[in-house]
Amino acid sequence: MYTDLEAARQVAHRAIWLAQQELRVSKETAAALLFVSRAASRAANEALQIH
């Protein structure tokens, strides 16, 4: 869970940084959204398995 969280944070921060540089970020934003949502799903599933 921790590695997914850190990876998701890095992907999101890169997309935010690119947006602040006024660069086109549609691909990076879509990738960040997909990765973060999948990481959240994996974390929720793992938490249920642990519980």
| Model pTM score | 0.73
**Cα dist from 28 to 33, 36, 39, whole Å:** 9, 12, 16
As for how many domains the chain has, the answer is: 1
pLDDT one-digit tens code per residue, 1-51? 899 989 999 998 998 899 899 888 888 889 989 999 999 999 999 999 987
For residue 19, the enclosing domain spans: 2-50
Token pair belonging to 25: 């970020």
40 half-sphere exposure, CB direction, 13 A CA radius:
7
Q: Categorise residue 23: left if φ over 0, alpha if ψ from -120 to 50, beta otherwise.
A: beta
